Amino acid sequence: MSRLVIISNRVAVPKARGAAGAQGGLAGALNSALKKFGGIWFGWSGEESSETTGHIQLQTDDGVTTATIDLSETDIEEYYNGYANSTLWPLFHYRLDLTEYENETGRGYERVNETFANSVAPLIDPDDLIWVHDYHLLPLGERLRSHGAKNRIGFFLHTPWPPARLFVSLPYHERLVRTMLEYDVIGFQTGEWLGSFLHYCEKELGAEVDESTGRIAFEDKETFARAYPIGVDWDHIQTQGKTKEAKNAEQRVIDSTRNRIAMIGVDRLDYSKGLPERIDGISRFFDQNPDRTRDLVFIQIAPPSREDVDSYQKIRAELEQKTGQINGARSEVDLVPIRYVNKGHSLAELCGFYRASKICLVTPLRDGMNLVAKEYVAAQDPEDPGVLILSQFAGAAHQLTEAVLVNPHSPDNLARAIRTALDMPLEERKRRYEALVKTVREDDIHGWTNNFMRDLRELGAQ
Ligand code: F6P
């Protein structure tokens, strides 16, 4: 059986990361795939060194071998803070207003991709399957090929892929996509992002595209692009939800909210998550329902993210200002309507918080998938489930159609959805929950890994 080599910007060993949201599920799935197939996980250590030497630190922990390299300050600035998070991330989330078009950082991005390829190449055996993740490493497949890798190489994009009319605003867009066609299989979260990519390949690149199979033929190359919606680790959430840590966390919310209903949001502090818009919607709800002010407590967990990037500093300041404003205007001596928490929490704690919260707000302006939505469903009490309010612009909305779907840009729409959720009878909550749970459970993280690995092995292989 072939070994698996996973390559991503960060190497996420679950024990090492307590961040909120999806990280635990993805890290867990990739770790279990690595345990099953054997192999290594390669990426940036997250550490800065005086220069990028490409020197590998190898570590084996619980049957999984990780190989990491440090990056220099300039590389981190140009590759991670720069091209990946100030150019590609905003562009891929349809935010041309925040996208920086600096060729300088583009060169740093290409340089670090080459460093990754150069460092990992000696660790790759001819029969290994290689699986590259995310927008930090779009050209890595092509770089690996230039180092002689003839392996099957797959790529999965965790973010949206923008419509062609937006993507062409990127200088050298064609060069970037040409490098991606060196992958054997390219995975997207939803048919929408996949459609945008195929459309670009056909209309802008002039590739031959077969939409029914996802086959892209371009010059002498053949690639398959398909949608593989990522899921959560259902069993792991059930186990974590039963731990003492989860029970304590649940009790903390129940005790501290007493007769009020807890409504929760869990997001990295990122402008794509629609956090200020969410606060506007809550504020509108309070304006329109003065009699319900004392019924509701909103808990927003928002661990800071990418703090050296300008747009992230701005969104944090904006959120702090809005939260402070609404709390100042609406608090009573015994009531603070919004609890704003900048800390990350373990999955067990989140399961407890989710269970104690009768409403969950997942309202990104644009999101590849959003696993918080799925985690919330998986953590509910089937006898008294809460209500998921979900943005129509999250990838998850394609699957979780029984959530209360909203337009996160509209404060009125959000306010109405909160009212609907608060008033929803138990019977309807259960009916919606059962439909949601079916999807979350059936399309879990293991199915995602297996489907991608199957296609990587088989699609177009001679
Ligand atoms: O899903 C997008 C993503 O960049 C993941 O690759 C990453 O694990 C997560 O967001 C957190 O971002 P960062 O590694 O920049 O903290």
CB 375 within 8 A of CB 350: yes
Determine which residue's CA is closest to atom 4 belonging to ligand 1.
134
pLDDT at 200: 98
Q: What whole-number distance in Å separates Cα of residue 435 and Cα of residue 444?
A: 15
Q: Where in the sequence is the domain holding 122, given as residue range(s)?
A: 4-231+445-458
Condensed to tens digits (0 to 9), the pLDDT of residues 324-359 reads 999 999 999 999 999 999 999 999 999 999 999 999
Tokens of 309: 């990037």
Q: Known catalytic residue: 233? A: no
Pocket residue to mutate for ligand 1, from 10, 270, 369, 370, most atoms within 8 A of Cβ: 10
Task: Give residue 402 CA to ligand 1 midpoint distance, Å.
Answer: 27
Kindly give the distance from the C-alpha atom of residue 286 to the centroid of ligand 1, in angstroms, as a whole number: 34
Which one of 6, 11, 86, 134 would you pick to mutate in the ligand 1 pocket, going by the greatest count of ligand atoms within 8 A of its CB?
A: 134
Catalytic, out of 93, 133, 158, 236: 158
Whether complex ipTM tops 0.85? yes
pLDDT at 33: 82
Distance (angstroms) between ligand 1 centre and the Cα of 79 equals 14
**What tens digit of pLDDT does each residue of 210-268 get?**
999 999 999 999 999 999 999 999 999 999 999 999 999 999 999 999 889 999 999 99
Average pLDDT value for residue range 422-449: 96
CB of 305 shorter than 6 A to ligand 1: yes
Q: Using the mean position of ligand 1's atoms as its centre, give its distance from the Cα of residue 210 in Å.
A: 31
Res. 50: pLDDT tops 60: yes
Kindly name the residue from 367, 443, 444, 455 that is annotated as catalytic: 367
Give the mean pLDDT of 104-126: 96
Give the mean pLDDT of the chain.
94
pLDDT surpassing 90 at residue 74:
yes
Report residue 343: phi and psi, to 5°: -95, 150
| Integer Cα distance of 10 and 3 in angstroms | 20
Q: Both 74 and 149 in a single domain?
A: yes
As for how many domains the chain has, the answer is 2
- Residue whose Cα lies nearest atom 15 of ligand 1: it is 306
| Cα 453-445-187 angle, rounded to 5 deg | 45
Q: Is the CB of 278 within 6 Å of ligand 1?
A: no
Answer whether 370 contacts ligand 1 (Cβ < 6 A): no
Question: Ligand 1 in contact with 429 (CB < 6 A)?
Answer: no
173 and 278 in a single domain? The answer is: no
Count of residues for the chain? 462
**Closest to 181 in 3D by CA, of 235, 221, 239:** 221
Please indicate, yes or no, whether residues 318 and 179 belong to a single structural domain of this protein.
no
Model confidence at 62, in pLDDT bands (50, 70, 90)?
confident
Confidence of residue 16 (pLDDT cuts 50, 70, 90): very low
- Same domain, yes or no, for 117 and 180? yes
Domain identity same for 226 and 244: no
Can you give the CATH number for the domain in which 134 is found?
3.40.50.2000
Distance 305 CA to ligand 1 centre (A): 9
Is the domain of 355 the same as that of 453?
no
Same domain, 174 and 50: yes
* Of 26-30, 270-274, 296-300, 429-433, minimum mean pLDDT range: 26-30
The DSSP secondary-structure symbol of 82 reads: I
Residue 317 has pLDDT above 90, yes or no: yes
Is residue 284 in contact with ligand 1, taking CB distance under 6 Å?
Answer: no
Band of the pLDDT at 57, cuts 50, 70, 90? very high
Give the whole-angstrom CA distance, residue 232 versus residue 23. 10
Give 88's pLDDT tier (boundaries 50, 70, 90): very high
Residue nearest to atom 3 of ligand 1 (CA): 158
Q: Are residues 109 and 12 in the same domain?
A: yes
Q: What is the pLDDT of residue 13?
A: 60
Q: Residue with structure tokens 């997001």?
A: 267
CB 315 within 8 A of CB 271: yes
- Whether ligand 1 lies within 6 angstroms of the CB of 23 is answered as yes
Give the model's pLDDT for residue 443.
Answer: 93
- Does the structure show a pLDDT above 90 at 89? yes
Residue 407 scores a pLDDT above 90: yes
164 and 305 both lie in a single domain: no
pTM > 0.90: yes or no: yes
**Residues 239 and 221 occupy one common structural domain:** no
Go through 376-397 and write b for each residue having 16 or more CB atoms within 10 A of its CB, e for each that does not: bbbbbeeeebbbbbbbebbbbb
Which carries the bigger pLDDT value, residue 22 or residue 126? 126
Interhelix angle 23-37/445-458, rounded to 10 degrees, is 50
Three-state DSSP class for residue 52: coil
Give nearest CA residue, ligand 1 atom 14: 10
Distance 22 CA to ligand 1 centre (A): 9
- Measured from the CA of 10, which atom of ligand 1 is nearest? 14
Q: Which two tokens stand for residue 402?
A: 């029984």
Confidence category of residue 17, pLDDT binned at 50, 70, 90: very low
Ligand 1 centre from 202 Cα, in Å?
29
**Same-domain check for residues 330 and 358:** yes
Quick check: 24 pLDDT over 50?
Answer: no
Quickly state the pLDDT bin for 22 (edges 50, 70, 90): very low
Q: What is the pLDDT of residue 25?
A: 55
Q: Is 367 a catalytic residue?
A: yes
Q: Are residues 450 and 336 in the same domain?
A: no
Q: What is the mean pLDDT of residues 293-312?
A: 95
Phi, psi (rounded to 5 degrees) for 182? -80, -15
- Which residue has its alpha carbon closest to ligand 1 atom 1? 158
pLDDT score, position 31? 81
How does residue 12 score in pLDDT terms, banded at 50, 70 and 90? confident
